[in-house]
Structure 1
Amino acid sequence: MSDLDVFRTRLGTLMTRVRKELEDRDGALSGGFRLKGLSEEEAHRIRGFVGKEPGPHPDRVWIDLAHLDETVRHGYGVGLEELFEALGNPLRFRSTIKREEEELRARILAPALASPLYEAAWFRSWLEHRDTRAAVTRRVNSGKDTDTFGQAVRVLETVDAHACAPETPGAGAFPLLLQNLAVDATGDTKALNNERSLTTLVLSALAARSGTTRPADRDAEERRAFWEANDVVQDDLASRVLALNLPARGPVLGSWLTEAAEHGIPFQITLHQLVRFPPVPTARVIHVCENPAVLRLAAEELGMRARPMLCTEGWPSAAFHRLAAAAVSAGARLRYHGDFDWSGVAMAQRVAERYGADLWRMSAADYLDHVPARPHPLEGREQPTPWDPGLAEAMRERGAAVFEESVASALVEDLAER
């Protein structure tokens, strides 16, 4: 057995503890430590090596670091620090590790600190948030994935610049496509897909920017809606809104909408069409529903006699926001109805805040009038209903969801009024 094998095998327990002590002490040899819980054979071997007599506790040995260093130098011609180098595993002193960690942290944060976004309060707040600090610390501790933070900053700079850019006269600004945003920041079209670490960082920052909360990790629909609220879309052909009897001015799409309204035909509009041929709706009041079953019933029963309608088909898409903003800018008033569940009232609140919309048949009384005998249980995080605080209280007490299609007949009665 070679000299080094003696330390690796016969004195392994001793050397493991010596390493920890020296690294924590930055190599200082003053003082010592006590090894405990040794087997009889280990204790005998270690005492023999350091020249100690058995004490009152046979499973313990006191180790004086300076004496151990002197023993190793006398027997092998090197000190403890050189011995660990010879064993192929040099000491890493605590001060060295701390300095390296500080340097790595500075390198990870450098793109954020150098970004023009650092002037914005929301950006600095995001950097100081405990989740962001924890994400940086994880990367420092692992020594890996040091590029993702800089990539997140590049994505945020692009989104913020796009939001601040003036629109082209006569046309809306084209939204950012998610895959293009990912490629520009990372070279990978899938880098901003759901549940990626980069996506989590970016969505957290955008939530700080908008004063909202980050969408749930596993709620793909909520995440899509959140991206689209920041004018980032996965596909401008897949982002759609459904309209009924919504005449509009403007070439191509405006003409199509007007002609569809003349026949009472539902018309599905893509974000691509809205950007390419932006219409100007002429309706003064537009009723908005969440479920297409309501719009379909209005088309079947009322046809061209139904009041102008939009349907979000779930979480409002970028296409809905584009058309709703155009309608409100032209002087229209929105009236919104959705599901009586926590997700539905959250959508209602967002539409009301963003467009000054009236809430249509969304009171506590409306809810209680339609709670079914065998209800579907409420799920998700409870949401406030500031337009009628009694609604949230009633929903919490009943614990029942009332979906929009179950009240479609009552809504269609409103749509028939002139």
Structure 2
Amino acid sequence: MTSASDAVERYRGAEYRRLLRAARRGLENNGGSLDATVSVEVQGEAERNAIIGITGRYRDPSVKRIRVTLRDLDAVVRAGTELSLAGLLEAIDGRPLANHPAEAARALATRREALRPAEESPLHESAEWFRTWLGAVSRNGTVGRLVARPETVGVLAQAVRVLEFLEDRPEGGVPVTLAGLAAEVTDDPKALNHRTTLSTLVLRALAIRAGVPLPGTAEERRALWDRYEVVVDDLASRILVLNLPAEGEGLGEWLTGAARFGTPFQVTLHQLNTFPLDLRVPVVHVCENPAVLRRAAAELGPGCPPLICTEGRPSTAFHRLAAIAVRDGARLRYHGDFDWPGVDMAGAVVRRHGAEPWRMTAADYLAGLAGDGKAGNGKPRNAEAGGGEVGGGEAGDDEERVRLSGRPVPTPWDPGLADAMSEHGSAVYEEAVADPLLADLRMQILGG
């Protein structure tokens, strides 16, 4: 008498192998239902006879593909082995049958649950950049990869909370450290460190919000965090100053000493956070490019009026120092590049600190364009900074000008400026119009 185990061993034969593989695929794909049919393209007489023995129907050798219902196969297996078809397959393969429909349903439910905090966030309703980011991470497989691993399934919700936290912070509030932000949202101060999944998600969203490429270097990452007053390194966040005497121990003494000699001085956010400072100057001029400050130091020396340089996009250190100056009664006058990022930065400083635009009118732009529109007298810009390519030719040739790129930005202090820039389509960089800026500083020395 043949035992059940002997019968199971019989089904391990090569003549049954492809039929049982097809049966496993069928059961796994339909959730274990026997109401399905599988087919096998017969290869060899032994396989043909085995399948005929299961179905009980003779098939002519000319029939190359034989179909078998899973219910018939289950009945034959039960009669010979006392096992169900599913039990036989698990015994032969040494692993349980998968249930792909149930797995897909669970994965879909997990995905929906992972996306729910983002879709229910107020940012989803109010912020186009947030919807763009969420659409991108949904389409490119990021969400699928997150929900596939238990340790990352909640990271998207954490990213949403970080973005909501940054959105809700008042402009000009106290800067937050990267570790402090991470601890506030996740209870893990290292959760936003470079290369963490959470950091990558949040930086991608902030880059979309700012309209810049995803940062690729440590400096670019610091700059992007700095836009939202998240301090990665309070030593790296700094501002260049010239002739800004101050009161206070430490930093105030250093600034006063540097001003006495007309020496440019780098101030870090760490210093501003460490040493209380008071400023007693009526006007502080602000420029974007260090070339302007360098000329002022060389040509005007200790007599130059107080001048600070953002060295590009204003950092948290700049905003801290500007707030101190305004608090102490100083009037800020801001000048920057005549390109879309430049006027965007100017507008932000005007809104945040009540600064006055300094030679940032349409007339100033057109004078700079007419005086020398050559790219060679400006600084080449990469794509992130919003510049164009530099060409060659004669002075004044349109091909030599750096073409404006990026999204136009309104200039509410002089709407004609944005109109003129759009019409001419060329950038004028600050160092190319430094002469009238230095003339203003000279006039202030003379009391004009």
When the two structures are superposed, what TM-score results if normalisation uses the length of structure 1? 0.75
Q: Is 2:153 aligned against 1:146?
A: yes
Task: Report how far residue 73 of structure 1 moved.
Answer: 2.2
Structure possessing the higher radius of gyration over alpha carbons: 2
CA offset at residue 271 of structure 1?
A: 0.8
- The letter of the residue matching 2:407 is Q
Aligned letter for 1:379? A
Tell me if structure 1 keeps the 8 A contact 2:123–2:164: no
**CA distance in structure 2 between the aligned counterparts of 1:45 and 1:213, rounded to whole angstroms:** 68
Once the two structures are TM-superposed, the CA of residue 69 in structure 1 deviates from its matched residue by: 1.7
Corresponding residue of 1:27: 32
Question: For residues 115-194 of structure 1, what are the structure 2 equivalents within 5 Å?
Answer: 121-122=122-123, 129-131=134-136, 135-142=142-149, 145-146=152-153, 148-149=155-156, 152=159, 163=169, 175-179=175-179, 185=186, 189=190, 191-194=191-194
Looking at structure 2, the residues matched to 15 and 146 of structure 1 have their Cα atoms a distance apart, in angstroms, of 36
Match of 1:411 in 2: 437
Could you tell me how far apart the structure 1 residues matched to 2:114 and 2:359 are?
A: 51
1:92-107 to 2 correspondence within 5 Å? 92-94=98-100, 96-98=102-104, 100-101=106-107, 104=110
Q: Equivalent residue for 1:268?
A: 266
Give the total of aligned pairs. Answer: 398
CA offset at residue 297 of structure 1?
0.9
Percent of aligned pairs with the same amino acid: 40
Uncovered stretches (5+) of structure 2, i.e. residues with no partner: 1-5, 387-405, 412-416
Q: Which residue of 2 aligns with 1:348?
A: 346
Matched, 1:68 2:73: yes
Distance 1:13 1:297, change over 3 A: farther
Once the two structures are superposed, the pairs formed by residues 268-417 of structure 1 within 5 Å of their partners are: 268-341=266-339, 343-362=341-360, 363=362, 364-366=365-367, 368-369=369-370, 370-372=372-374, 376=380, 379-380=383-384, 382-387=406-411, 388-390=417-419, 392-393=421-422, 396=425, 398=426, 402-417=428-443
Instruction: Check 1:373–1:317 CA distance in 2 against 1; reply closer, same or farther (3 A cut).
Output: closer
CA contact (8 A) 1:289 1:312 kept: yes
Distance 1:290 1:45 in 2: 86
The equivalent position to 1:235 in structure 2, one of 233, 236, 257, is 233
Q: What amino acid is aligned across from residue 94 of structure 2 in structure 1?
A: G
Backbone CA RMSD of aligned residues: 4.4
Residues 197, 373 of structure 1: alpha-carbon distance in 2 compared, 3 angstrom cutoff: closer
CA shift at 1:320, angstroms? 0.8
Corresponding residue SS for 1:379: coil
Which 5+ residue runs of structure 1 have no aligned equivalent? 168-172
Find the aligned partners of 1:74 and 1:329 in 2 and give their Cα distance: 91
Change (3 A) 1:377 1:226: closer
- Asked if the contact 2:288/2:309 (under 8 Å) is kept, the reply is yes
- The offset of 1:319, in angstroms, is 0.7
Distance change >3 Å, CA 332–CA 187, structure 1 → 2: same
**What SS does the corresponding residue of 1:241 show, helix, strand or coil?**
strand
TM-score calculated relative to the size of structure 2: 0.70
Q: What is the distance in 1 between the residues matched to 2:329 and 2:218?
A: 33
* Distance apart, 1:406 and its partner CA: 3.9
Range with bigger deviation, 282-291 or 133-142: 133-142
CA distance in 2 between partners of 1:12 and 1:217 (Å)? 54
